[in-house]
Amino acid sequence: MLRLEGIEAGYGAVQVLRGLSLSVAAGEVLCLMGRNGAGKSTTLKTIIGQLRASAGTIELDGARLETLPAHEVPRQGVGYVPQGRRLFGDLTVAENIEIGLMTRKRDARTRDRVLELFPRLRERMGQVSRTLSGGEQQMLAIARALCLEPKVLLLDEPTEGLQPSMIALIRDTVVALKKTGVATILVEQRVDAALSVADRIAFMTGGSVAETVPAAGLRADAPQFAAYVGV
Amino acid sequence: MDFGPFLLLALMEGLVTAAVLALTASGLSLVFGIMRVVNVAHGAFFMLGAVLAWFVSQWVPGPPALSFAVALVLCPLIVGAIAAAADTAVLKRLNYEPEATIVATIGLLYILEQAALSFFGPDARPVPAPLNFRIQLPWFGYSGYKLAVVAAAALVLLAVWLILRHTRAGLIMRATQIDRDTARAFGINVDRVYAGVFAMGAGLAAIAAVLIVPIQQAHYLMGGDPLLLSFIVVIIGGLGSLRGTLVAALVIGLSDGVISTFFAPTLAKIVATLAVALILVLRPQGLFGKRAA
């Protein structure tokens, strides 16, 4: 479904991704793990078009993404939940949802379907989003991305700073999306959270994937975690 | 005239200044708030609106009200189109870098002024008022047109507020203002939003100019004062805050009217400048602005 080949990208003169290649299939959850600076978030930013790839290709179902303007990428079916949520903080929950919906001109059924996943948001529709709790903000960030009805969902550390019940809710959501055929690339620092939901884990170091292994059968004390994540 | 009626007259004059200033400054504030661009050419867009209104008054036959109505629709559209073209041709290429856009808009200011000088000439030229009636109060008579200017400015500002708060375009603008990168990640064409906002800001300045030109006359250097006062207003109100802009325009406009009437126009400008200095020292983000994180 989504395939990255030989991607090079960075911030100005600082190159972060060096020949990165990876792929994720429909209904698959690929987890990116690695130390700080390994290039996990940069990978997602490059896919969504926030950073330009100076080399390499990004293909979604055969369509090239790296040549598109950034605002065209979500229209191809890429949903993005950034690190730190980056909600439109001064807008209400309903307005954040509407921003997610307007891109593909989806009808109210999409919104209802998304809100069924997060019923608590329905009670907060008129609330300014920056006044939500951390967990509710994360729900909204995911809901907003799902309003795009994405083929591929990019999640950047969605469990960061959340309580266990909220982490479980996010895991259940990812599992539910997986059943609908949505491909997910998940950046995660927590080994238990990664193992509970991922099909494969790609360990990154120095801006490229060093090793990709199936998550099934992988234990939390596997040597890769110590080598690439430092836990 | 007694003090009371004299004060009333001063306040009415101040209200007219405040209304036009609020329109002009809201355009400047909108551009800064959403695009983070300090538009030094804003006064030139104001001037262009007035100069175009004079051309329209010469070309459109019939009563002044007709040519004025045509100018009120046509001039903001032309000025907005010029602004959008300038945004696409210049500001976008500079990636909206704050320092570079200041220099670029200074250049744009000179280009527009010199173009006006070339095609319009150095003379101040009058534009006939569309309405000629006086409202007779017990103490003095007052121009009905000036009160119509206040009403028209209030209507336009209400429309701007409604667009920003209750339309899809307004929602897109507000989202872009908050976080343009995330807006792009949801399919918002930020370049198009910026061109639209720059056009809208310039269009507001042009509307203000068309409204005021029957009182002031058109001149190719007339953009200086509105630019200065607009900066004073948006600094006091808080850069990017429409509510702050309106409140500050009212304060500056009314104080300008009162001080100019009782003392001298120059003193009014001095007081406004001192107010800006005071705000910059005590509350740099302005009365309604948000402190930078």
Domain ranges of chain A: 2-77+150-229, 88-149
Under 8 Å between Cβ of B234 and B245? yes
Domain A2-77+150-229: state its class. Answer: alpha beta
Report the DSSP beta bridge partners of residue A15.
A10
Report the residue from A50, A98, A148 with minimal CB separation from B171. A98
Report the chain B residue with the minimal C-alpha distance to residue A45.
B185
The pLDDT tens digits along chain B (293 residues) read 688 888 999 999 999 999 999 999 999 999 999 999 999 999 999 999 999 999 999 999 889 999 999 999 999 999 999 999 999 999 999 999 999 999 999 999 999 999 999 999 999 999 999 988 999 988 889 999 999 999 999 999 999 999 999 999 999 999 999 999 999 999 999 999 999 999 999 999 999 999 999 999 999 999 999 999 999 999 999 877 888 999 999 999 999 989 998 999 889 889 988 999 999 999 988 888 776 55
In order of A96, A107, A170, the CA distances from A138 in angstroms are 12, 23, 9
| Stated pTM of the model | 0.91
Residue B108, in any domain of the structure = yes
Taking an 8 Å cut-off on Cβ atoms, the answer to whether A104 and B181 are in contact is: no
Using a CB–CB cutoff of 8 Å, tell me whether B167 touches chain A: no
Structural domain total, chain B: 1
Residue B277, in any domain of the structure = no
Using a CB–CB cutoff of 8 Å, tell me whether B189 touches chain A: yes
- Please tell me whether the interface predicted TM-score (ipTM) of this complex is above 0.95: no
Residue B190, in any domain of the structure = yes
B205: nearest Cα among B50, B55, B69 = B50
Report the residue from B181, B186, B189 with minimal CB separation from A100. B186
CA separation for the pair A147, A150 (Å, rounded): 8
Q: Is pLDDT at A163 greater than 90 in this prediction?
A: no
Q: What pLDDT sits at residue A106?
A: 56
Report the residue from B178, B183, B185 with minimal CB separation from A90. B178
The two tokens of residue A184 are 């997910």
- Nearest CA of chain B to the CA of A72: how many Å? 6
Segments in chain B forming alpha helices (H): 3-35, 42-59, 64-86, 98-120, 144-166, 168-178, 180-184, 190-216, 224-237, 242-262, 265-282
Domain of B199 in residue numbering reads as 3-222
Instruction: Characterize B218-253 residue by residue with b for buried, 16 or more Cβ atoms within 10 angstroms of its Cβ, and e for exposed.
Output: bbbebbebbbebbbbbbbbbbbbbbebbbbbbbbbb
